[in-house]
Structure 1
Amino acid sequence: MFEYHGWIAVKETAVGDDDDVRLRQIVDELRLRVADMASPYLLDLRWMNGEPFIHLGGSANHRSSPDAIDLFEHVAKVAPGSYGLLHVRDDEDPGHENEMRVLRLARGAVTHHTEALLSPCIPTLEDPFTA
């Protein structure tokens, strides 16, 4: 299972005074990438209060590419002022099968962390399987 829930505030730079023309170009490019992902799950890029945001969430049997993690890494490259969080549960991720992971996007980098509030998944979220 590959479950994910996240958001990104899209910013050209961390300075706080993005060039509106350049930011709109970045958002237009991201809109094409989002459309190419053709996700049957939640994947939304919209302007709110004059600023662009991406919201995403879903649950699939397996991780596929491109996916939410790829999108986070792409945004880090093209809009390094962006920030956001992505919570991921991937029972096929070696060494992290029983963890909820959180990816942090900040200052052009994506870092991976164990989400202490929801890990270990068994028994925090679910009972152990008994046959």
Structure 2
Amino acid sequence: MFEYHGWVTVRESAAAEDDEDFTTERARLRRLVAGIEERARQVGGHGLLDVRWINGEPFVQLAGFANHRDPGIPEFFREVGARAPGSYGLLYVHDDEDRAHPEGFVVHRMVRGRVSEHQDALLSPCIPVLEDPWTS
């Protein structure tokens, strides 16, 4: 089982916006987001993979549930950070085929476009936190 839930606030950089160059910056950001949208169409996934603008800001939302691991999902998350190095967000992944973390979620944390992995302490271990153990 491969379950994932995540979001990214897409930012070209972590620098403050300059009002004088706002139009130029927005045009660059729109081109950057168009590339992310194209890549999202290629990745697909087993669920939600949505790039949209909300109140003038671009966001990525992703969630899904598949029978087996989909390495394209964490790769896409990292790629968004590489394309837009001011971005931040979280991707929670539960992969029962992951030998290091078969019983819990791993959190992929994006800050300033860089992704690091962390053990989850809020939803893990899945049994008994989220589900009861099997009984015979």
Q: TM-score, normalised by structure 1?
A: 0.93
Kindly report the root-mean-square deviation, in angstroms, between the aligned alpha carbons of the 2 structures: 1.4
Partner residue, 1:109: 114
Partner residue, 1:11: 11
Equivalent runs, 1:81-96 vs 2, <5 Å: 81-96=86-101
Q: TM-score, normalised by structure 2?
A: 0.89
Aligned length: 130
Unaligned runs of 5+ in 2: none
Structure (1 or 2) with the larger CA radius of gyration: 2
The alpha carbon displacement at 1:40 in A equals 4.3
Equivalent runs, 1:75-86 vs 2, <5 Å: 75-86=80-91
Deviations 1:22-56 (A, max 9, x none): 11111010010011123341111000110100111
Distance 2:105 2:70 in 1: 18
**Residue 100 of structure 1 pairs with residue 117 of structure 2:** no
Sequence identity of aligned pairs in percent?
51
Unaligned runs of 5+ in 1: none
Distance 2:114 2:14 in 1: 12
Instruction: Report if aligned partners of 2:105, 2:120 keep a CA contact under 8 Å in 1.
Output: yes
- Structure number with the higher helix fraction is 2
Partner residue, 1:29: 35
Distance 2:40 2:51 in 1: 8
Which residue identity is paired with 1:91? D
